[in-house]
Amino acid sequence: MNAVKKSRATLIGVVLAFALPVIGAKFVLDQSWYEGAATNKGIMLSPPITLSEASNATLPEGWHVALIADQACAENCMQALYAMNQLDIALGKESDRVTPLLLSSSPVNMALDLVPMVQPLQNASLVRELAALPAHHLFIIDPMGNVMLHYPSYSDEATMRAKAKELLSDLRTLLKLSRMG
């Protein structure tokens, strides 16, 4: 093999070494063989619910984990409230950035002495803005007033505990990535 053929073969080899992975990646993406992983464990709202400035101003500063209380909410609400209370404790040093809230449009007639970290907030207009959320779901509100993730509540303690761990995981990720609140 002469020097010209040898240098040409080397050049083709180098070009192929860089081009084949790019061509292969393009082929895999075009054929939809690759599915990007979702890192959130909650149910994502697309688009997120954005609270009005007036409603957001009624909330305490920072991040919020909230639940809307109504008259039909019984054991699953108590499990969700207990999970919110424990969530505030589980966050450790980040707990001052998150406020657990029990939202309602009328006065709440639930015994909240078992969940001292949860703050009741009566605001009918805020509850109306959040009407698109499924009933009895926990949800996360960011400091800008966006509701982006929600989690169902369960009357079974073990199931609710597992869902609370998922919420804690998502909340820790959001707090880590955010400099707000």
Q: What is the pLDDT of residues 164-176, one digit of tens each?
A: 999 999 888 888 8
Residue 11 has pLDDT above 70, yes or no: yes
pLDDT at residue number 63 = 92
Would you state the pLDDT for residue 76? Answer: 81
Q: What is the pLDDT of residues 38-85, one digit of tens each?
A: 677 888 888 889 999 988 889 999 999 998 887 766 788 888 888 888
Report pLDDT for 37.
Answer: 63
The fold of 43-177 is Glutaredoxin (3.40.30)
Q: What is the pLDDT of residue 65?
A: 92
Compute the radius of gyration of the chain from its Cα atoms: 25
Task: Evaluate the CA torsion angle 36, 41, 44, 50 in order and state its sign.
Answer: negative
| CA dist list (Å): 119 to 19, 84, 85, 91 | 59, 10, 10, 17
Q: Which residues contact 45 (CB under 8 A, 6 or more apart)?
A: 133, 147, 148, 149, 150
Structure token pair of residue 63: 């991040």
Q: How many CB atoms lie within 10 A of CB 55?
A: 18
Domain ranges of the chain: 1-36, 43-177
Task: Return mean pLDDT, the chain.
Answer: 86
Q: How high is the pLDDT of residue 181?
A: 56
125-132 average pLDDT score = 89
- Mean pLDDT across the stretch 94-107? 87
pLDDT per residue as tens digits for the range 27-39: 888 887 777 666 7
